[in-house]
Structure formats: C-alpha cells, structure tokens
Amino acid sequence: MKIGHEALVIGNWKMNPQTDAMAKRLATDIKKTLAHAEGVEVVVAPPAIYIPIVESVRNSKKSFLVGAQNVHTETIGAFTGEISIPMLKSFDVRYVIVGHSERRKAGETDVDVNAKMTAIIKSGLTAVVCVGEAKRDHGAQYLGLIEMQIRDAVKGLSRAKLGNLVIAYEPVWAIGTGNTATPEDVHEMKLFIEKTLTDLYGRNYAQKVRILYGGSVNPKNAGEIMHDGKVDGFLVGGASLSAKDFGSIVTAVKSMLV
C-alpha cells in the first residue's frame, strides 16, 4: 500500500518500566530490532525521568527518535512538578503526546490540549494529539465527539504548520483491553478525521497531517489494521514494553509499505 507520508510508529511506555536499568535495557533492545526499519519513523516515549537514558541509548540517526508523554505550556518558572518544552528540546525530544485519554481522565481538558499543541508546534516539535470516544452508540454520536475534539485541539493552528501535527485515534474502549477496533472501524474513522481536517484547512493541507491508530495494537493485528485501516501508523502502549513485539509491529508496518 502507498501512504502519503513516512509511516510512524510511536511506543508510549506510560509509567513503565520500574527502574532506570530496565529502561536502558528496553531502549537498547528496541534499538536492536530496528536495524532494518527504513521507511518507518519510530518514536519511543518513556516517562520523562528516563528521557536522558533513552536519548543516550538512541545516539544515532538510524534508530528511533525520543518522544515525551506530556509537557507544560510555560517555558520556565514556578510550576512545581512540571517539565518545559526547552527542557525536552535539550534532550533532543521531537514528539510530544497530548490529550491521551489517561491524561484527559486526570483532568486535561480540550482547552489544555489546544494550549499544549500550540506551544509544542510553535517550538518546532511535533504534537501527537489523541482523540477517541469512550464508547460507541448506534446513532454514531461518537463521530460528533471526535469532530469536536479535533476542532478544539487545532484551534488557531495555521495551515503551514500541519506537517507538525499527528492525530492518534485511540478509542478509549480499545486501550489496554485487547478489544482492538476492526480495520473497517479504523478506516471509517481515518476518513472522518480527514474530512474534519479538510473542512477546516482544505484537502491538500489536511493531507499533511499524519493519522495513527492506537488501542491494543499487537504484532498479530498491526499488518491488517495498517492495510485495511489505511492509517499512517500506530501509537502503541502495552506492546511497546516488549522489544520483540514492538519490533514486530514496526516490521509489520514496513511490510505494508511496498
């Protein structure tokens, strides 16, 4: 299959693993699996405290890039417990996840998501904005929710910057549950997200945004979802904690690109 962009696979480690030694081992093992991953951009997003370790393992253009799971909108000052964009940039972080459902559950609002997206993209980094419904209803009202999440997230973002935006469709019911969305569901949502962006920016510009799927992606289902769902790649949670599984997902994505 042909996709309009370089494929993208992001591993979101969430609050794992438990020690710095384990983080170093996992990053090292992941790097080894990526020796032949040309054509797929791979990002590893560890907990912030492990970013320096993961960045030092990376240490080469030919492996993965480093991502962050969250960031604050201000660049410096009295914000206890927060991490700024300049701090992330000083460790060569390139991607930042925003609005993950686990963070939305902890209080992150659409307004916060928009403010973070704006700050991230303004600084030259790429924002990975997560959207997704908690459940599906027969009247397809979830489509309206996704549209609103997207419209709220991208408020004020200019066309010229759309290449720095990634949208990850992550239905909440599929995250960490093993209930993956079907490839048909994923394709329907991919088209719907494209339509929403096209209404806002016009078709040519909308196509600059990469659209990922996330929610119980594993080595067995990745190829089919990529092929039939026609997404640009994946945001992977649980399976990114196994270098073998994560590497197999990247390989599955790569094999779909021919």
Supply the minimum distance, in Å, between the C-beta of residue 63 and ligand PGA: 21
**Is 100 designated active site?**
yes
Supply the minimum distance, in Å, between the C-beta of residue 119 and ligand PGA: 21
Q: In the range 236-255, which residues lie near ligand PGA by CB under 6 A?
A: 236-239
Q: In the range 208-237, which residues lie near ligand PGA by CB under 6 A?
A: 214-217, 235-237
Supply the minimum distance, in Å, between the C-beta of residue 202 and ligand PGA: 30
Residues forming beta bridges with residue 45, ordered by sequence position: 12
Q: Which of 100, 108, 133, 187 is catalytic?
A: 100
Q: Which residue's CB is nearer to ligand PGA, number 154 or number 175?
A: 175
Q: In the range 18-77, which residues lie near ligand PGA by CB under 6 A?
A: none
Q: Which residue's CB is nearer to ligand PGA, number 67 or number 93?
A: 67
Q: Which residue's CB is nearer to ligand PGA, number 31 or number 237?
A: 237
Q: Mask: binding to ligand PGA, 141-180, rule CB under 6 A, as x and -? A: -----------------------------x----xx----
Supply the minimum distance, in Å, between the C-beta of residue 233 and ligand PGA: 12
With contacts defined by CB under 6 A, how many residues of the chain interact with ligand PGA? 13
Note whether 172 and 133 are within 8 A (CB): yes
Chain residues in the site for ligand PGA (CB under 6 A): 12, 170, 175-176, 214-217, 235-239
Which residues does the annotation mark as catalytic?
A: 100, 170
